[in-house]
Amino acid sequence: MTDITTEPPVLDEGVFEQIVAEIFGVMLGFEMFPVHGEDKVVAGLTSLVHITGGRPHTVQLSFARALGDRVAAEMFQMPLAELDDEARADALGELANVVGGGVKALFPGHCQLSLPTVLLADSAPILPGAEALGTVVFTDGADTVSATLWERSDDDTIDDARGGLA
Amino acid sequence: MKILVADDSRVMRSIVIRTLRQAGYGDADVVQAGDGHEALGMIRDEDPDLVLCDWNMPGLTGLELLVQIRAGGDARPFGFVTAQQSPQMRQTAIASGAQFLIAKPFTADDFRDALDSVEA
């Protein structure tokens, strides 16, 4: 007989979408809506956070540049014109951090959350040996952001439990 | 009331301070630290009545900061504001001497409940 108390939680795309939707709902000052049937990773501004330990995963948020800027400006409550790269990286990294925390909360046992990594160029991150478990897309009505949950085969690609890609 | 907000994210410090205002703590004197080492110095120099601290910071983590000040006999109220929201983290925080842990994302009600319980 299976002891269900030791079974890992089911973390499917629907659960991941709920986590992202709740965090966007609380942290952003404007509404974001899921776009179903769309699973393309958005090109633009990307923030990543890694879960290390027993269940190595990575959360990737990729924003269309205009939406990333609006999100960062809203989080800082500053005019768009005053936004700089440091503020972009800080805000979008923090959003990935909170989504990563929401995912990590579903994992039993000892896991750690890395510091966020942010890519401000239109380049996709490379996560060797990682498998995308799902991508969910949200829009504010004008632009889109994708959230992808990766399961990594091991922690070898992560150079520090508290941050950074190797 | 003086509150030290310690977080390596400038945007999160800004959100925490806005949420403090929404929670009814707009009159508090808020000072900020960008990492654990800076927070340690500000606890000594600014003597805050309450520390609101991120868990995961480069250099000295929030937990290491808490352990260090408690080892030195500092009993001032200390709460975590963190994305690290597992039951194990909460247990570790409380066992190490934290009064509360507020999980990100948070609301003004979360702050009011936590801070009012410390003030009571």
Q: pLDDT tens for residues A112-164?
A: 899 999 999 877 788 888 999 999 999 999 999 999 999 988 655 454 433 33
The minimum CA-CA distance between B115 and chain A, rounded to whole Å, is 20
Burial class of residue A37 in the structure, from the number of CB atoms within 10 Å of its CB (0-12 exposed, 13-18 middle, 19+ buried): exposed
Q: Which amino acid is at B97?
A: G
Of B9, B18, B86, the CB nearest to A94: B9
What are the Cα distances from residue A60, in Å, to A1, A118, A125, B40, B60? 37, 10, 9, 32, 26
> Do residue B11 and residue A104 have CB atoms under 8 angstroms apart?
no
> Do residue A90 and residue B11 have CB atoms under 8 angstroms apart?
yes
Residue A31: partners with Cβ closer than 8 Å, 6 or more residues away: A25, A140
The minimum CA-CA distance between B71 and chain A, rounded to whole Å, is 24
φ, ψ for residue B40, nearest 5 deg: -60, -45
Residue A1 confidence (pLDDT): 41
What are the Cα distances from residue A56, in Å, to A107, A161, B1? 10, 11, 42
Is residue A51 within 8 Å of A113, Cβ to Cβ?
yes
Which residues in chain A have their CB less than 8 angstroms from residue B85's CB? 101-102, 104-105
Confidence class for position A165, pLDDT limits 50, 70, 90: very low
Is residue B55 within 8 Å of B84, Cβ to Cβ?
yes
Is residue B44 within 8 Å of B79, Cβ to Cβ?
no
Of B14, B61, B104, the CB nearest to A98: B104
Residue B112 confidence (pLDDT): 96
Residue B31: partners with Cβ closer than 8 Å, 6 or more residues away: B2, B3, B4, B5, B42, B46, B48
Residue of B nearest to A25 (CA): B105
**Interface residue A72 vs chain B (CB under 8 A):** yes
- Is the pLDDT confidence value at A52 over 60? yes
**Interface residue A97 vs chain B (CB under 8 A):** yes
Of B11, B56, B105, the CB nearest to A91: B11
Mean pLDDT calculated for residue range A93-104: 95
Mean pLDDT calculated for residue range A83-90: 96
Q: Which residue out of A76, A90, A95, A117 would a mutagenesis test of the B interface target, given it has the greatest number of B Cβ atoms within 10 Å? A: A90
Is residue B6 within 8 Å of B62, Cβ to Cβ?
yes
Residue A158 confidence (pLDDT): 52
Residue A5 confidence (pLDDT): 47
The ranges of chain B with pLDDT < 70 are none
Residue A154 confidence (pLDDT): 67
Query: Which DSSP state fits A5?
Result: G
Among A35, A93, A16, A109, CA closest to A61:
A93
Greatest CA separation found in chain A? 61
What distance in Å separates the CA atoms of residue B1 and residue B29, rounded to the nearest whole number? 6
Tokens linked to B56: 């995961």
Confidence class for position A111, pLDDT limits 50, 70, 90: confident
Q: Which residues of B75-88 are buried (b: 16+ CB within 10 A; e: fewer)?
A: eebbbbbbbbbbee
Helix (H), strand (E) at residue A132: strand A130-139
Helix, strand or coil, per DSSP, at residue A80: helix
Residue B118 confidence (pLDDT): 85
Residue B85 confidence (pLDDT): 75
Of B9, B58, B103, the CB nearest to A162: B58
Residue B114 confidence (pLDDT): 95
Residue of B nearest to A160 (CA): B58
> Do residue B61 and residue A162 have CB atoms under 8 angstroms apart?
yes
Confidence class for position A74, pLDDT limits 50, 70, 90: very high
Question: Across the strands, what pairs with A149?
Answer: A59, A134
